[in-house]
Structures are given as structure tokens and as C-alpha cells.
Amino acid sequence: MKVLVVDDVGYMRHLLQRLLEHNGFSAVTAPNGTSGLRALEHDTNIDAVVCDLLMPDIDGIEFFRRARVIERVTDEGNAPPVPIILITALRPNDNSRKSDVDRFRQASQMGFEEIMLKPIDQDLLIHTLRKIELENSQSDNPDTGIEKIQDSIRSLQQVVESVENLQNKEVLLATLQTLETQLAGLDRGEST
């Protein structure tokens, strides 16, 4: 999965790029929001963005707005907007300027995949990106999820047919336990 890191602080870009690459992601960086938007327009292989909130040219909120309207055309058609993880050192409190508090509140209502405070919880960042990667792979192959559900339904139908033919109480209880296991697997999204 390819991740774009947009941050005006060079060491932060470098740190995040190394972290992502160490965890098996491909990473590209941009030193400001304008460059980041250009990268999104020209590179349809970018699957997610990690973007700073406070940047001098375009802040993370404006970046999010503009990124949402970029048409990203791939061989399969128009790609959905990329998920964006917002990172910030801004911690609104009683002593914060009203504009900072308003900016943080606005960001929390916009639909970012995640908002993370600096210093970044690296495990949470990697976990969030893995979740995005999994969602992308499932949306790339929607039949996979349907096939798993269909397989589970077939298995359950076999169990129900077995139950209909049972007369022995112990065999019935064992079959019901199997059915319960199958249903638990469905709840967890597993194919049985």
C-alpha cells in the first residue's frame, strides 16, 4: 500500500517515511499541502494520506476539502477519495486561542479516518493503515466477501438438514453446538 505523508517539518516527514517503509508500506512525501494535492492528482496509486493539521500554505482541513474533490481516474474507473489521517501537535485547552480550538473541533467533525496527536502513537498509526489496506483489498475484490457469506450459508444449510433428520438427543446437541460455532464464525466475519 502506498501512503503519502504531507508535513511541512522535514524530520517528521523523514520519521514517518522510515516508519511506514519499515512496516512494509511504500511511502512518498510532500513538504506542504499544495505539493500533496499535486501528488494525489498525478499518482492514482496512493492509497492513504497522513497529513499535518498546521502547515503554512494549506492546513490539513483545507487539504482534506480539496483532496475530496480530486478526480482520481484509474484503469477500473474513478477511485474513491483516499482516507486521510490527520496528525497534529495542537492540543486545545483553556489557554488555547479560540481559532485553534475551532480548527480542532472542525477537524474532528470532517470525516478524517483518524486524528492523532503528536508524538504519534506509532502502533495506532500502523494499525489504522492496516485497516485501510484491508478495506481497500476487500473493495478491490467484492466477490470475496460475498463468496464467504455464501459458503457459510451453504454450511449452515447442511447443518439444518442434518438436524431435521435427527432423532438421537446427543447427536442433536452436538449438531446444535456445530451450528453455534458456525454462527459465531459468521459474527467474526470468518468463512466456515
Q: Are residues 106 and 159 in the same domain?
A: no
**Pair 133, 155 in one domain:** no
Residue 8 lies in a domain: yes
- Please state whether beta strands 84-88 and 72-74 pair in parallel, antiparallel, or not at all (unpaired): unpaired
Same domain as 128, residue 92: yes
CA distance 50 to 29: 9
What's the rounded Cα separation, in Å, for the pair 148 and 128? Answer: 24
Q: Please say if the pLDDT value at position 145 is more than 60.
A: no
Residue 30 lies in a domain: yes
17 and 102 assigned to the same domain: yes
pLDDT of residue 84: 97
Looking at the structure, tell me whether residues 87 and 158 fall in a common domain. Answer: no
Residues 148-165: tens digit of each pLDDT? 555 556 655 655 665 555
Mean pLDDT of the chain: 82
Q: Is the pTM value of this prediction over 0.95?
A: no
Residue 149 shares a structural domain with residue 166: yes
Report the domain count for the chain. Answer: 2
Question: What pLDDT does 101 receive?
Answer: 75
Same domain, 12 and 46: yes
Q: Tell me the CA distances in angstroms from 44 to 32, 53, 93, 131, 159, one per residue in order.
A: 19, 23, 39, 19, 46
Q: What is the pLDDT of residues 61-116, one digit of tens each?
A: 999 999 999 988 777 778 789 999 999 988 766 677 777 778 878 888 899 999 99
Range of 128's domain?
A: 2-140
Does residue 52 fall inside a structural domain? Answer: yes
Place of cell 474533490: 69
